[in-house]
Amino acid sequence: MHVLIAGSSGLIGSALTSALRSHGAEVSRLVRREARKPDEFSWDPESFGVPDEALERVDAVVALGGINIGDRPWSGHFRQQLRDSRITPTEVLADAIAESDVPVFLSASATGFYGDTGGRAATEADGPGAGFLADLAVDWEAAAAPAAQKSRVVFLRTAPVLAPRGGLLGRLRPLVKVGLGGRLGDGKQYLSWISLRDEVAAIEFLLSSPDLAGPVNLTAPIPVHFDEFIRTYGSVLHRPTRLPVPAAVLRTLGGDMAREMILGSSRVVPEVLTRAGFSFTDETLVDALTWTR
């Protein structure tokens, strides 16, 4: 299998590139700079798009780009950056795929599609929620639509990824290690999550599953309340987690970003993967956090 990856330098993309190659696949990469290696192709979604040679002999394209949504509060300018870094590249890739013979397109999305789920477990059969994250995910997925004319398109609705370095734990680990961890708000909001190794394994599974198309939730089977998440992480690191941050403080400091990403409830389950027979390595939070330690 020959896979072309956009976003190969990120947390998921770099791990996916290594895994695919270790399993015998050929991997090419789209880069936003001058190509320096034989496996690289330079592209610019805003100007010259995807070079024709990048799609030659390619069996699948995986798009994983987009600037980090939790980098800073959502000013109007930053919201536009978040949209531009996801929607325009996806549109350009989808148009290029529609004009080629690439049979598979896996396009990044997020569990934010479902908005605040409260205590309800959201599956792929549910429609979009409300809020900026949900609207962004809807438009992000719509940008991939042109590729569906000829290709099998999968939307990777990914939960926050737990990894030994970077991702959600990259922000939390320093705080927890010095004893500054604690619940956020009342701690009763659900958090969906997935380990990096299960994220990569799920993408590989989807690449080789010809009957699966459309939205797929890339989440572990058991979402948890945030207070359970932070207590479990403190236990794994042998650190106390007794310093709560009130919801009012979070809303004041983080605005809509805090309301949707931190205080909102995300209870999302991987119904499609489970029914298809995918086996998670890290089914429980303890498994995932112990691996990342």
- CATH classification at residue 246: 3.40.50.720
**pLDDT band for position 246 (cuts 50, 70, 90):** very high
* Tens-place pLDDT, residues 9-42: 999 999 999 999 999 999 999 999 999 999 999 9
- Are 147 and 93 within 8 A, CB to CB? yes
Report yes or no: 236 and 293 within 8 Å, Cβ to Cβ. Answer: yes
As a whole number of angstroms, the distance between CA 37 and CA 30 comes to: 11
Q: How many domains does the chain have?
A: 1
Candidates 117, 137, 136; CA nearest to 269 is 117
In the structure, what pLDDT confidence band is assigned to residue 212 with cuts at 50, 70 and 90?
very high
Q: What are phi and psi of 199, to 5 degrees?
A: -60, -50
Domain span including residue 151: 2-292
Q: Would the pTM count as exceeding 0.85?
A: yes
Cα separation of 170 and 221, whole Å? Answer: 22
pLDDT reported for residue 116 = 98
3-state secondary structure the chain: CEEEEECCCCHHHHHHHHHHHHCCCEEEEEECCCCCCCCEEECECCCCECCHHHHCCCCEEEECCCCCCCCCCCCHHHHHHHHHHHHHHHHHHHHHHHCCCCCEEEEEEEHHHHCCCCCCCECCCCCCCCCHHHHHHHHHHHCCHHHHHCCEEEEEEECCEECCCCHHHHHHHHHHHCCCCCCECCCCCEECCEEHHHHHHHHHHHHCCCCCCEEEEECCCCCEEHHHHHHHHHHHHCCCCCCCECHHHHHHHHHHHHHHHHCCCCCECCHHHHHHCCCCCCCCHHHHHHHHC
Check if the beta carbon of residue 154 is closer than 8 Å to that of residue 64. Answer: no
Q: In this predicted model, what pLDDT tens digit does every residue of 133-184 receive, in sequence order?
A: 999 999 999 999 899 989 999 999 999 999 999 999 999 999 999 999 999 9
